[in-house]
Amino acid sequence: MSRFKADKYASSDKSKLPEERQKPTSLRKPLARLHQEFLRPYRLSFAVCLVGLLVQSLLVLPVPILQGRILDMLLPFAEAAKAGKPALAVSSQVMFGIATGLAGIVTCQLLRTSLSWAVSNTTGRISQEVVVELRAALHKKLMRLPMAYFDAQQTGRLMARVTSDVGSILSFVNSGLLQLINDLILAVGIAALLFWLQWRLALIAMVVMPLYMINQKIFSGKIRQLSKAIRSQVSSIYALLSERVSAVRVVRGCAQESNELAELDKRIDHHRELSWKNTRTGALLGLLATLITGLGTMGVLMGGILLVGRGRLTMGELLAFYSLIGQLYGPIVRLTQFQATAQSTAVAIERLCEVLDEPETVTDTPDSQPVIQPQGAIELNDVHFQYQPDGPQVIDGVTLNIHPGMTLGIIGPSGAGKTTLLALIARLYDVHPPTGDGEILFDGQKISHWLLADLRQQIALVPQQALLFEGTIRTNLAYARPDATEQDLQAALDIADLQTTISRLPAGLETAVGERGVTLSGGQRQRLALARSIIAKPSVMLLDDCTSALDAETESRIQESLADRLPGRTCIIVSQKTSSVRNADQIIVMDKGKILEQGTHQELVEFGGWYASTYAAQTSAMTDKIYDEAA
């Protein structure tokens, strides 16, 4: 289980959005945070890995030296044989020397391979565990963040960032961190050994190093920019594709297929140009790097030959020197490139911490109480609300008293604040200053008095857009109550007037509804979403225009069965149609966040205001339609 406690982030105070914040330049602080929150339990394993890596790196060094020694021991025999002299007797001392050298090389290689296997196994396991905990912490946090956070974020971008940032932290923990330490040890060890073997040659080898590093720095900067541009181009291609594929009906409906293809081609062309440029730059970098190292090794070779000629260096030492130089460049290149990895990892950690640090404003307190005997009474006292502190008033002094079992209809023009009012009752937003004022009560207590999970179980909000999850009709239905019985499912389907439709499907409840339920019609999706809420057995149902895709007859049938089969349930129906609310016990007309009219259907018609004129207009439109159809 995750050792991470999302609660400890609840009190953090960050007001800026992640994009607005400065990007970090150093890895130190983000790494300390990562260590504090996620890596701490693995400290011992990391330390063991580090020792293993240290030994593994140091085991690289004796191999060229031993190879050189063996060569030096063999050379006199080779020279004698070449000069046609009688074969020299191989002394047992030489034999022993060669055998020990070879045994040393094999032991070093075997030890290195086993250590490398053990270290990568351990780091792989640690990084997977860290990632699981990170993802669990993020998921938990996202589920608890207030709606206002999601209002300010693009969900798609948030998800993409969360997955790619977690990925880059995974690769950093998996290999980056220990690779850095490994390279540092190797670079220092090899350089020290080179100077110990022959400082003059070592100086020659080092002369080209600055050139090499400058070359790397210049080109890796360019390559980094190009890779960034390529990544963003790829995401723009994916974004276009996913948007257009999911809205393929709109594309076809507007006959925009060829324009869409042209736009896609443009983006793919740009991506190809960037990729080609990236390949060319990489090839040029490789060419120059080979030239520079070639220059260095040529210098070493020439200097080495001179020193061998003067008897200051043996052939074996020259060989050892030569192969050690070959091993020095790799770690140095990686060290020069580490800055870029460090930067992107630091940014990734910071971004994730920003999500984790977001304050959970709509949350439980230690005094929150469970809902034991729900009645379903809702009361609003002079409620004011705006989405942003400096934004317009969306709810402007609403006072309402909804008794248990009552049906309230809310009607009004688009943008009047009807959906917002339902969101406030469901406590998706709090009405605290600076964005709200007044109080909302459930069963006589402020909604913040009740445990949030209990409250949300009692107050079911059915939004207009019927979102269904990937899966079958059964999994969607049982979403809010996984322990629902077959009887519960059938009863809910019956109330939502879906039983006949589903019994006609060959797979019945097991029918896959696919991504966003494309196999069902709009009205069927809405009825399924309604049935899903009914199964949860809430005491208050908030129906936000959730029967808009249904014909008047089906809608009134569903409303009647809701009233008959779920007696005592409080119901708030938001709609644009007077036919959807006319049977409600009370109807309110809202505009600009205020209640303009209130009463029963009859009272409001007699009052002769907005409701009466809308009712008249909608009834005559309906009558015209019936006449048209009859003609």
Residues within the interface to ligand ADP (CB under 6 A): 151, 387, 394, 412, 414-420
Asked whether 493 and 561 are in contact (CB, 8 A), the reply is no
Contact, 111 vs 59, CB < 8 A? Answer: yes
Whether the Cβ atoms of residue 355 and residue 18 lie closer than 8 Å to each other: yes
Cα 615 to Cα 589: distance, rounded to the nearest angstrom: 12
Torsion of CA 384, 388, 392, 397, to 10 degrees: 0
Degrees (nearest 5) of the Cα angle 169, 171, 173?
Answer: 65
Assigned token pair, 428: 């998706």
Q: Nearer to ligand ADP by C-beta: 101 or 593?
A: 593
Smallest gap from Cβ 357 to ligand ADP, in A, equals 22
Q: How far is the CB of 346 from ligand ADP (least distance, A)?
A: 32
Where does residue 387 fall: left (phi above 0), alpha (psi -120 to 50 degrees), or beta otherwise?
Answer: alpha
Rank residues 278 and 393 by Cβ distance to ligand ADP and give the closer one.
393
Asked if residues 73 and 98 have their Cβ atoms less than 8 Å apart, the reply is yes
* Distance in Å, CB of 378 to ligand ADP, minimum: 17
Q: Which CB sits closer to ligand ADP, 413 or 508?
A: 413
Phi and psi angles of residue 402, each rounded to the nearest 5 degrees, phi first: -110, 115
DSSP for 300-317? HHHHHHHHHHTTSS-HHH
CB of 425 to ligand ADP, least distance (A): 12
Of 325 and 587, CB closest to ligand ADP: 587
DSSP 360-398: --S---TT-B---S----EEEEEEEE-SSTTS--SEEEE
- Cβ closer to ligand ADP: 334 or 418? 418
The H or E element spanning position 459 is strand 459-462
Of the chain, the end-to-end C-alpha distance in Å amounts to: 68
Q: Shortest approach of ligand ADP to residue 151 CB, angstroms?
A: 4
Of the pair 221, 415, the CB lying nearest ligand ADP is at 415
Q: Which token pair is 536?
A: 């949860």
Q: In the β-sheet with 395-402, what is the strand arrangement from edge to edge?
A: 395-402, 378-385, 436-442, 445-446
SS3 583: coil
**Closer residue to ligand ADP, CB minimum distance, 394 or 595:** 394
Of the two residues 395 and 571, which places its CB atom closer to ligand ADP in the complex?
395
Q: At its nearest, how many Å lie between ligand ADP and the CB of residue 574? A: 7
Least distance between ligand ADP and beta carbon 57 (Å): 55
Please report how close the Cβ of residue 420 comes to ligand ADP at its closest, in angstroms. Answer: 3
Q: How far is the CB of 543 from ligand ADP (least distance, A)?
A: 12
Distance of closest approach, residue 291 Cβ to ligand ADP, in angstroms: 59
∠ Cα 352 356 361 (to 5°): 145
Of 163, 142, 153, the residue nearest 235 (C-alpha): 163
Output 144 or 418, the one with its CB closest to ligand ADP. 418
Other C-beta atoms lying within 10 Å of the C-beta of residue 271: 17
Q: In the complex, what is the shortest distance from the CB of residue 30 to ligand ADP, in angstroms, rounded to a whole number?
A: 31
Alpha carbon dihedral 509, 514, 516, 520, in 10-degree steps, equals: -50
Would you state the structure tokens that stand for residue 300, as one six-digit string? Answer: 């070493």
Residue 151 vs 606, nearer CB to ligand ADP = 151
Neighbours of 280 (CB within 10 A): 11
CA pair distance 274, 280, nearest whole angstrom: 10
CB nearer ligand ADP, residue 223 or residue 416: 416
Distance in Å, CB of 474 to ligand ADP, minimum: 31
Please tell me the distance from the alpha carbon of residue 183 to that of residue 191, in angstroms, as a whole number: 12
CB of 548 to ligand ADP, least distance (A): 12
CB–CB of 176/341 below 8 Å? Answer: yes
Q: Six-digit token pair at 263?
A: 């736009």
- Nearer Cβ to ligand ADP, position 202 or 574? 574
Could you give the CA distance from residue 228 to residue 318 in angstroms, rounded to a whole number?
Answer: 43
Closer CB to ligand ADP, 316 or 412, in the complex: 412
